[in-house]
């Protein structure tokens, strides 16, 4: 038989609770600054030809994206980046900065499969969000799944739920044009 007494001044959820709290605070801050405003979104050109792509060469996302891109002869400029873990934020920021210096791009696609809030942390980084905001070309973000809404998705010009949906967004106008030609 024993007795235990516990006095606490503060009890806080650990793990995803702390991450969610930090996410919500940063989201509110960036939203108040107008970073997610619809008015600042750029449109993808009607018939894009040259696309920048940032993702991991090791993940399934790149295969899904390339498989669903169709056979329209897109020129893909690819920069490999880790998309999870401590190195991911630095890799993603470096890749976005590299695309600032590449001329002739119609848009930039950032993709990654789904995951927990913790595994998507790289896409909830303020420095990365601001780098993306600073791009002159439209950005399509296909990170996560329907329930995953990263800050990168919110700042992007077009946010879709998966890498496959990102590919379909790029080739949608081409699909429609070929359908019209056939008709």
- Tens of pLDDT along 116-151? 778 889 999 999 999 999 999 999 999 977 676 899
pLDDT of residue 26: 96
Percent of the chain with pLDDT over 90: 76
- At CA 179, angle to CA 173 and CA 181, rounded to 5? 105
Cα 106 to Cα 129: distance, rounded to the nearest angstrom: 20
Give 73-105 pLDDT, tens digit per residue: 999 999 999 999 889 999 999 999 999 999 999
Q: Are 65 and 142 in contact (CB under 8 A)?
A: yes
Q: Cβ of 47: how many Cβ atoms within 10 Å?
A: 11
Q: Output the pTM of the full model.
A: 0.88
* Tokens representing residue 108 in the block: 């930039």
Contacts for 64 with CB less than 8 Å, ≥ 6 apart: 113, 162, 163, 164, 167
171: part of which helix (H) or strand (E)?
Answer: helix 163-182
108: part of which helix (H) or strand (E)?
Answer: strand 107-112
Mean predicted confidence (pLDDT) in 25-54: 96
Count of residues making up the chain: 183
Q: Are 107 and 52 in contact (CB under 8 A)?
A: yes
Does the pLDDT value for residue 13 go beyond 80?
no
Q: Please, which pLDDT band fits residue 107 given cuts at 50, 70 and 90?
A: very high
């Amino acid at each position: 038989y024993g007795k235990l007494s516990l006095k606490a001044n503060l009890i806080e959820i650990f793990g995803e609770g702390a991450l969610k709290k930090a996410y919500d605070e940063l989201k509110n801050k960036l939203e108040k600054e107008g970073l997610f405003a619809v008015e600042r979104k750029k449109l993808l050109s009607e018939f894009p030809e040259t696309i920048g792509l940032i993702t991991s060469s090791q993940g399934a996302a790149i295969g899904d994206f390339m498989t669903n891109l169709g056979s329209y002869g897109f020129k893909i400029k690819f920069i490999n980046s880790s998309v999870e873990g401590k190195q991911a934020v630095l890799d993603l920021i470096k890749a976005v900065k590299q695309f600032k210096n590449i001329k002739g791009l119609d848009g930039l696609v950032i993709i990654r499969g789904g995951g927990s809030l913790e595994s998507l942390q790289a896409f909830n980084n303020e420095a990365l969000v601001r780098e993306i905001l600073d791009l002159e070309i439209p950005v399509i973000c296909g990170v996560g799944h329907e329930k995953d809404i990263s800050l990168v998705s919110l700042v992007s010009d077009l946010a879709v739920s998966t890498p496959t949906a990102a590919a379909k967004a790029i080739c949608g106008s081409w699909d429609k044009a070929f359908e019209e030609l056939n008709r």
